[in-house]
Structure 1
Amino acid sequence: MITFAAQFFYCGNINHYLVKADDFLSLYSEDSMVKMLANEIMLPSPSVIHLKGLRGCLDTLLAASMQKLTQKSHLFVLQDKEEAFFFLHNLESLLGKGRLLFFPVSYRKPYEYEEVDNANVLQRAETLTELAKERSMIVTYPEALGEKVITRKSLSSHTFRVKKGETADRAFLEEFLHSYHFEKTDFVYEPGQFSVRGGLVDV
């Protein structure tokens, strides 16, 4: 068991202070106990580690330090959606949004599987896609992990890619989008919708 002495880290935007976020994180990552924790995580068969004595947002600071020192993908499972959002926001203040991924549930309300939140479905797919590309930090919660996900092979086979400058048949695009249950609307205001205005297809 690794015990950290009570320390305090302000949860707000660190960029408001004289020390830059990168410099602050670099200083903290040089701490001997932080390095010891990183070395333990890097072992081929790491042991179960229990941390206690964390105060303020020290858990966020430790998470960011582990990413910096290990250069591996990390999965952080928080107790619920609200805690996950809070943790993600604090990580963003230290690392920026580039390396962070959020993995939510697909549904608007717990256990109401008929009412899908298209934005969350899109975010889940984007997280799975990015995870296959590079090292990332994924923040989620048990409810989201309990939901089944599409396999990498299925995701790839059901992905339609277009590039700038390519031409595509409008009728084919409409048929393709309908086959994947996209809703045709006058104006697109959320994921899962598309509209056709003259030669323009807005997805």
Structure 2
Amino acid sequence: MEVIETSIPDVKLIKPKVFGDERGFFMETWNAKVFEQAGIVVTFVQDNHSRSVKHTLRGLHYQIKQPQGKLVRCTRGEVFDVVVDLRKDSPTFGQWVGEFLSEANQYQLWVPPGFAHGFLVTSEIADFQYKCTDFYAPEHERTLQWNDKTVGVEWPLEIGLSLKLSIKDKAGLDLEAAKAELEALL
């Protein structure tokens, strides 16, 4: 397993070793010792699985209390996965990282607690699976605008495409409003 630092050092791209032949493949997706050596010391308490159709954009979700660290991967199809640093005192606050995760490349992304997270489905259908370090707390969930100009995520959008967004995701906060709410938690 190769663990690669991204432009935000705490966010890691994980490239598992995949062993395959005519029967299929085998790979290790989680190894506490390997992750610990990469500085990721966590306990997972919840696994999630979503299926989405092409042009679905989910996110950018975060929790203001009980923030979740997530180990994410796409097990069917392809997504463009995005994380935005919302840690109040971070030197990379408001910066984002995006990676294509797919059934073909088998990559995973480590999203530390304190980040907004979302993805855009770029294949006809995508199954997205992730492990979480804390339980989902809907009363603490918030959404950062997927198209916030201050953050400036460069989504790989097709010209003329109509995104599929939930009502919650359409009503996301801009970065300044999210920052104000996070600072008020002190």
TM-score class, shorter? under 0.3
- Normalised to the residue count of structure 1, the TM-score between the two structures is 0.24
Find the structure with the greater CA-based Rg: 1
- Normalised to the residue count of structure 2, the TM-score between the two structures is 0.26
Structure richer in helix, relative to its length: 1
Q: Which has the higher contact order (CA 8 A, sep 6+)?
A: 2
